[in-house]
Amino acid sequence: MKTVRKAVLPVAGLGTRVLPAAKTTPKNLLNVFDRPILAHVVAEARAAGIEHFVFVTGRGQTAIEDYFDQQFELETQLEAKGKSEILADIRAELGQPGAMSFVRQMAPRGLGHAVWCARDIVGDEPFAVILPDMLMRAQPPALAQAIAAFEAVGGNIVVVESAPPGEAHKYGIVALGETTRGFDGRLAHMTGMVEKPPPGTEPSNLFISGRYVLQPEIFELLANQGAGAGGEIQLTDAMVRLMATQRFHALTFDGTTYDCGDKIGLLEANVAFALAHPELGAEARAAVERLLRR
Ligand code: G1P
């Protein structure tokens, strides 16, 4: 079985729910405690063994490329000032030469279209898709859980979790069949999927939450995928077609997800990551408690 080495990160979205913060800063570079959302997500993917990152970007997002590039002046100054700890932190986040690719989506035609834009760079191997604004905290990290499931059962893996009551229609929703042995009963054969089902028609309350392992055959289907929900080319619709010939499993995520494409989700992520910070967590807790007592 081929290993999962590449991850596609669709980042071209306008971030309308987090405006005006996302007006001049790409939404995935907005801050979560001490670094941008994307830095947290890239760390999660590296911990899962991802070697090559394919960012599908839009106009005005060159700051993403710069974030993962060496900043010679900054590094030299930190070195001269003896700030070795932060320097090491900054260097650890950098992309490896040639192991980050940036492709332009050119038009906002939907998640399926964004993933399709990565086809030439991914080539003929299974790959991960990460929706970076869904920031996940878990041990092992979310993508590592998905890749472990892939290594156990092959095919395609979609990470899912329970939608809050009344919210399922905002997401891609899955229908499940038999549960696979192991994985604490969290891995199940998938029998269906639907993108943004009208309220009341959802096959379950389990929504697609933003980590996938997919086979490269998805690209051929995305190439001629018609517009679906919201008039966009939906990844979910192409996955439904791939289900005709390949196996899909849903892995119910064991951890917490923060929707950073939303103001309250972003706030929650900031507090959660601050509280969990190994050095600053205790101080962060004291600050939050102070605030709540006021
Ligand atoms: C996308 C996917 C959807 C998924 C959601 C998670 O939708 O199409 O299946 O549930 O992300 O955030 P979007 O949020 O882009 O409308």
Closest atom of ligand 1 to CA, residue 171? 10
Q: Can you tell me whether residue 60 is helix, strand or coil? A: coil
Closest atom of ligand 1 to CA, residue 13? 15
Between the CA of 271 and the centroid of ligand 1 the distance, in Å, is: 24
Spatial neighbors of 105 by CB under 8 A, at least 6 apart, are 10, 12, 56, 57, 58, 113, 114, 117
Does the beta carbon of 111 sit less than 6 angstroms from any atom of ligand 1? yes
Q: Looking at ligand 1, which residue's alpha carbon is closest to its atom 6?
A: 209
DSSP of 180-207, one letter per residue? PSSGGG-EEEEEEEEESPPTT--S-SEE
Task: Output the average pLDDT for the chain.
Answer: 96
Q: Can you tell me whether residue 139 is helix, strand or coil? A: coil
Spatial neighbors of 278 by CB under 8 A, at least 6 apart, are none
Domains of the chain: 6-293 (3.90.550.10)
**In 90-238, at which residue ranges do the beta strands (DSSP E only) sit?**
100-104, 127-130, 134-137, 156-162, 172-179, 187-195, 206-214
The span from the CA of 179 to the CA of 172, in Å, is 20
Task: Calculate the alpha carbon distances from 186 to 70, 163, 176, 231 in Å.
Answer: 40, 16, 11, 33
Between the CA of 208 and the centroid of ligand 1 the distance, in Å, is: 7
Does the beta carbon of 210 sit less than 6 angstroms from any atom of ligand 1? yes
pLDDT in tens, 61-96: 999 999 999 999 999 999 999 999 999 999 999 989
Q: What are the structure tokens assigned to 205, written together? A: 């309350």
Q: Which amino acid is at 179?
A: T
pLDDT in tens, 251-270: 999 999 999 999 999 999 99
Q: Which residues are registered as beta bridge partners of 157?
A: 213, 249
Geometric angle at alpha carbon 280, from 271 and 146, rounded to 5°: 60
Does the beta carbon of 212 sit less than 6 angstroms from any atom of ligand 1? no
Residue 285: the pLDDT is 98
Residue 181: the pLDDT is 87
Find the farthest-apart pair of alpha carbons in the chain and give their distance in angstroms, rounded: 62
Pocket test for ligand 1, best of 27, 28, 56, 131 (most atoms within 8 A of CB): 131
Residue 1: the pLDDT is 80
Q: φ, ψ for residue 150 (rounded to 5)?
A: -60, -45
Q: Give the count of beta carbons closer than 10 Å to the beta carbon of residue 285.
A: 14
Between the CA of 169 and the centroid of ligand 1 the distance, in Å, is: 10
pLDDT in tens, 149-196: 999 999 999 999 999 999 999 999 999 999 998 899 999 999 999 999
Does the beta carbon of 131 sit less than 6 angstroms from any atom of ligand 1? yes
Res 241 pLDDT > 90: yes
Pocket test for ligand 1, best of 171, 193, 202, 212 (most atoms within 8 A of CB): 171
Closest atom of ligand 1 to CA, residue 209? 6
Q: Which amino acid is at 70?
A: Q
Q: φ, ψ for residue 16 (rounded to 5)?
A: -60, -30
Q: Can you tell me whether residue 108 is helix, strand or coil? A: coil
Between the CA of 172 and the centroid of ligand 1 the distance, in Å, is: 6
| pTM metric for this prediction | 0.96
Q: Give the count of beta carbons closer than 10 Å to the beta carbon of residue 235.
A: 30
Q: What are the structure tokens assigned to 53, written together? A: 């990152």
Q: Which bin fits 214, alpha (ψ -120 to 50), beta or left (φ > 0)? A: beta
Pocket test for ligand 1, best of 18, 162, 208 (most atoms within 8 A of CB): 208
